[in-house]
């Protein structure tokens, strides 16, 4: 049986991050995203323990706002991404810093660009 993805909403707090499952009474906190993921997985597995279901990271759909995304994935260069997706660099920088909130269309454009880079990277092989 294929389990649908569990949508996990992540929010920045003064002490780190909090996360909650959108349709389940499950939540967790953590000082960083890595700790938060471990905590929410543990909480979900406790919740589903009676049903003998095991939840893994592949069962999760993590939802971050753009500011949180770029804060966690600092390896993604916003300037290069803006050029790649045809977006004004200073506008993307304002989204990244949390000074402006992008529209749904802008968010979708940014996400599609990030996902395209991810697909390309997943298909690269390095000669050693």
Is residue 25 in some structural domain?
yes
Residues 32 and 77 in one domain: no
pLDDT in tens, the chain (128 residues): 557 899 999 998 899 999 999 999 999 999 988 899 999 999 999 999 999 999 999 999 999 888 888 888 888 999 999 999 999 999 999 999 889 999 999 999 999 999 999 999 999 988 88
Question: Which residues sit opposite 84 in a β-bridge?
Answer: none
Residues 31 and 56 in one domain: yes
Range of the domain at 53: 6-63
Residues 70 and 50 in one domain: no
Residues 58 and 10 in one domain: yes
Question: Which pTM does this prediction carry?
Answer: 0.72
């Amino acid at each position: 049986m294929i389990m649908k993805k569990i949508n996990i909403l992540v929010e920045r707090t003064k002490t780190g991050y909090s996360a909650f499952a959108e349709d389940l009474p499950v939540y967790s906190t953590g000082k960083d995203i890595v700790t938060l993921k471990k905590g929410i997985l543990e909480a979900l597995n406790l919740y589903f323990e009676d049903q003998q279901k095991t939840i893994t990271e592949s069962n999760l759909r993590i939802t971050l706002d753009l500011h949180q995304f770029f804060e966690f994935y600092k390896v993604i260069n916003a300037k290069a991404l803006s050029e790649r997706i045809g977006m004004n660099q200073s506008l993307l920088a304002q989204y990244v810093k949390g000074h402006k909130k992008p529209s749904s269309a802008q968010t979708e454009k940014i996400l599609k660009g990030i996902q395209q880079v991810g697909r390309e990277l997943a298909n690269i092989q390095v000669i050693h």
